[in-house]
Amino acid sequence: MAGVTDRPFRQLCKQLGAGYAVSEMAASDPRLWASEKTARRINHDGEMEPKAVQIAGADPAMLAASAKFNVDRGAQIIDINMGCPVKKVCNSWCGSALLQDEKLVADILDAVVSAVDVPVTLKFRTGWDRLNKNALTIARIAEESGIAMLTLHGRTRADGYSGEAEYETITAVKATVSIPVVANGDITSPEKAQYVLKTTGADAVMVGRAAQGRPWIFREIEHFLRTGEILPAPLISEVRTLMSEHLQAHYAFYGDYMGLRTARKHIGWYVRDLSDGEPFRQRMNRLESCEEQLAAVDAFFESQSERGERLQYRLAEEKLAA
């Protein structure tokens, strides 16, 4: 979720019911801490608690120093990334590439847990590939190292994001360890969240890509788990307000030049399943000022109100026809 879960988006997700939102993956190399990109990724000024920073790297001492650096800057939870499948990350022996070296995993976890006095959590995958699944071993190592919580994505590194997540391994990990386990992978609806919780016995679910353009999914899940009822789609009037607040916070965080450009992907996610969303996205991508972009988004959602007071997502067959 690098490039997605920045502070404005995390704040919005928390406002809409997410109990926990982790920062973008931040490099552990101290030479990068002062860079604009890393500094922005670990910026939690004014963010709702808990403030969780995710770190990535392959050197135990460097990761330990990074954890301490972030705690000194206000991080309340340190999350270690051993789940990212992206090639450039794995080529540096970071992310899910670490799953190939169980001793190194143990060394990293021991070093980071010993370095800070806040909870340390671990995000990982089921293994390197389907012939080399070692999530149970990694989970036991993590528990012995003092890791406070595990988040397990039901795919291997080789799977990337293709196919469907499997939950059998998450079920087995939950049955093996006594620390909390969070199930991750293809949690795309309240019904799917309930199914995964019941199937795996996990303590919670983590939503990733499904929140892109739909940050209200968190309150939808919470409401369904609590009441068994599906919330109606959000009011367009509410979405207009949320979009305005999100975009203005985004511009303030990145500055006008970068904010305009990085907001385009968020706007694209918001409109992708709505009528006339794709033509609007193409027009919006040609706008060259934050004021124009903000006004265009507001006008788009105002036009959606002609179809009713609530968002109306296109049916699957309509998307295929388009």
Q: Which pLDDT tens digit goes with each residue over 160-213?
A: 999 999 999 999 999 999 999 999 999 999 999 999 999 999 999 999 999 999
* 116 or 89, higher pLDDT: 116
Residue 59 CA to residue 28 CA, distance in Å, equals 8
pLDDT-derived band at 60, boundaries 50, 70, 90: very high
Instruction: Express the helix, strand and coil content of the chain in percent, nearest 5 each.
Output: 50, 15, 35
> What pLDDT is attached to residue 26?
79
Asked about 84 being catalytic, the answer comes back as: yes
Residue that is written with structure tokens 């997540």 in the block: 165
In this prediction, what percent of the chain has a pLDDT beyond 70?
Answer: 94
> What pLDDT is attached to residue 62?
95
E strand or H helix that includes residue 127: strand 127-129
Mean pLDDT over all residues of the chain? Answer: 92
> What pLDDT is attached to residue 90?
64
Phi, psi of 188 (to 5 degrees): -115, 0
Q: What is the pLDDT of residues 6-56, one digit of tens each?
A: 999 999 999 999 999 999 887 777 766 667 777 787 778 888 899 999 999
Q: Which of 84, 90, 94, 290 is catalytic?
A: 84
> What pLDDT is attached to residue 86?
72
pTM of the model: 0.92
Taking every pair of Cα atoms in the chain, the longest distance, rounded to a whole number of angstroms, is 60
As a whole number, mean pLDDT of residues 291-318 equals: 87
* 84 or 141, higher pLDDT: 141
